[in-house]
Amino acid sequence: MSRRPLALSACAALAVPACVVPEPGPPPEALFVTLAAARSADTFYHLPFPSDLRRTAEGRLDLTGLPEPSPLLPRYRQAIEDHLDGFGLNAAMFARFSGPLDTTRLPDPAGTLEPAAPVYLVDVDPDSPGRGQRVPLVLAYRAEESSTIGADALIARPYPGFALDEGTTYALVITDRLGATASTVFSAARAAAPATDPEVVAIQAAYAPLWAYLDEPGGDERGTVVSAAVFTTQHATDVVPAVRAAIAAVPAPSATGLVLFADNPGYVVYDGSFDAPSFQRGLPPYDTEGDIVIGADGLAVVQRTETLRFAVAIPDGPVPLTGWPLAVYQHGTGGDYHSFVDDGTAARLASEGIASVSMDQVLHGPRNPGRSPDLDFFNFTNPLAARDNVVQGAADCFSLARLGLGLSVDDQGRTNTFDRDRLYYFGHSQGSTTGALYVAFADDLKAAVLSGSAGGLYLSLIHKTEPVDIPSAVSALLRDDPLDENTPSLAILQTWIERGDALNYGKFYARAPGPRSDGSGPLAPRNVLQTDGLVDTYSPNINIRALAVAIGGDQVTPVLEPIEGLALRQRTPVSAPVSANLAGATVAVAQYPQRQGSDGHFVVFDVPTAMIQAQRFLGSHARTGVATVEVP
């Protein structure tokens, strides 16, 4: 495909395209060809993407013809074809036209939910409880061709935070209200009469869920639809319950070499080590392999055992009859098992009567000697590790919690034990990325603080500038110009990474809790406070807010910048104190201006209001059983 300068309409960048009005003439045709005609780089997007026509009889994906402007893309295509059973949960969708679109017809995200929307995404799965429900879209139009897709392309993205349901069939529906016409192939496929051309027969079969939906009374009919992409999503999150079960199946860890590290005002710190299962194939830093495999028994397969450093901080004073409340802490990229002491979290939690326990994160310290965790954790050049490093981090949370709850620490005549009924989580940056998966499925967890937490890989790849300039690196690696939210190659990376993307786990916190490990029913909704520091260059604010939308709680005043996606969930800002605001749990996101000379990423460590609200959020639950976002 030739590479000409690409022009994205400015209005499309605002998600309300209203600038391109074609010259008078015949309406454009929505490009739609048979699969056989869409298996080269030049024609790949002549068939709307994604499409169940690109699924094999075995349920795998076949992306033959995918434009691959860099050597990195074939690795991701191969990983997708080898491992995934469906398409992305947050990835962009694409449809091309024979000429310019009248972008004044394209709605904003709320408008895509309206009955008369010219373009919309709808659940058409006959077995889905959400059948007929729409997902809000961000729409954009590209007039000029790019490195990977031709001119006159419509791009539709699920609004950040509205991840699609797993294992579910959806249809991106394009109607004649957009001012376009259907191709000969699509016209034949949408006809009620069975086709005779084998290629059209295949389209009719793949699109059967859409035809059944359109044939029902009310709404659009087949004749009003000029193009569509019908596709089934992958199963992504089942890996975490598989890890949880595998950890429960091995002997509980025990501490070795426990020694006093520090006797600080208000608390003491003990260091030790313990053995924990590693589920990633291969060896660090995972230049190859690094993936996690689920066995035939449904459990994640343990590959080896790692001896890991840990530290536990214990408040001064009498030990509670039920043991100390315990917070599992995970540090950010570049930190270590003592970060919770260095950043003051251990002291602040101790002041609330809460003990805390921490360890070296994935690919940190002795787990990856002589290497940079800044590069190795994200590891874009190896798709397997890039995805499953995050999952291993979640596995470590389960192991660390199990260790901590089983500890008995003798300290100057006190026997310190820990209370399973008051288990909490505190994650920062990378720790909130890995912890986001753990929080979704931890049986005993009661409340969590997520600092600098983010979701949506494709957004991170174009906005994250610290501690590494990710956009520059990704641009050089992908060679798909221009690099923005609507770049097709980013949709491919997003499709692959879904297993490790926090956006797919947010709903499990309170809106739709996941299953308990014993199968006895759903988990209790968990209390979650998410911090949003302005401006965050490590976890871009757009990613933090995408996760907030996925979680679906309330924005706490003062509102420094509105999180517009929460309005799409019918949530409105609330003032502190906040408690029991979502499904009986306290679920909120609070914003704080960065400290002068610092970065918004660190507000929970250097902005007093953020520090106080975070520690008291967990402290209030430890004292009363109700987590509260308090007035600082």
Cα-Cα-Cα-Cα dihedral of 547, 552, 553, 554, to 10°?
90
> Which candidate, 329, 340, 326, places its Cα nearest to that of 405?
326
Q: Positive or negative CA dihedral for 524, 525, 531, 537?
A: positive
Q: Are strands 324-330 and 418-428 parallel, antiparallel or unpaired?
A: parallel
> Which candidate, 94, 150, 145, places its Cα nearest to that of 485?
94
Q: Which residue in the block uniquely carries the two structure tokens 């949003």?
A: 532
3-state secondary structure of 225: strand
- pLDDT, averaged per 10 consecutive residues of the chain (632 residues), comes to 34 48 85 98 98 97 98 97 99 99 98 98 98 99 96 99 99 98 98 96 98 96 98 99 98 97 98 99 97 98 98 98 99 97 99 99 94 89 97 99 98 96 98 98 98 96 88 90 94 98 99 96 98 97 98 99 98 98 99 97 98 99 99 92
| Contact in structure between 169 and 230 (CB atoms under 8 Å) | yes
Q: Are strands 169-175 and 304-315 parallel, antiparallel or unpaired?
A: unpaired
- Length of the chain equals 632
Predicted local confidence at residue 11, as pLDDT: 54
Q: H or E element: which one contains 229?
A: strand 225-232
Predicted local confidence at residue 479, as pLDDT: 93
Instruction: For 554-611, give the DSSP string.
Output: EEESS-SS--HHHHHTT---BPSSB-S-BTTB-EEEEEEEPPTTS-GGGHHHH-HHHH
- Helices 239-249 & 430-441 angle (0-180, nearest 10): 80
Predicted local confidence at residue 19, as pLDDT: 65
Tell me how far apart the alpha carbons of residues 40 and 64 are, in angstroms, rounded to a whole number: 7
Predicted local confidence at residue 330, as pLDDT: 99
Q: H or E element: which one contains 358?
A: strand 355-359
3-state secondary structure of 527: strand
Q: H or E element: which one contains 324?
A: strand 324-330
Q: Which residues contact 195 (CB under 8 A, 6 or more apart)?
A: 188, 189, 201, 203, 204
Q: Which residue in the block uniquely carries the two structure tokens 């209030």?
A: 620
The overall pTM is greater than 0.85: yes
Predicted local confidence at residue 295, as pLDDT: 98
Residue 480 has which token pair? 């798909």
Q: Positive or negative CA dihedral for 33, 34, 39, 45?
A: positive
For residue 27, give the DSSP letter: P
Three-class SS string for 387-443? HHHHHHHHHHHHHHHHHHHHCCEEECCEEECEEEEEEEEEEECHHHHHHHHHHHHCC
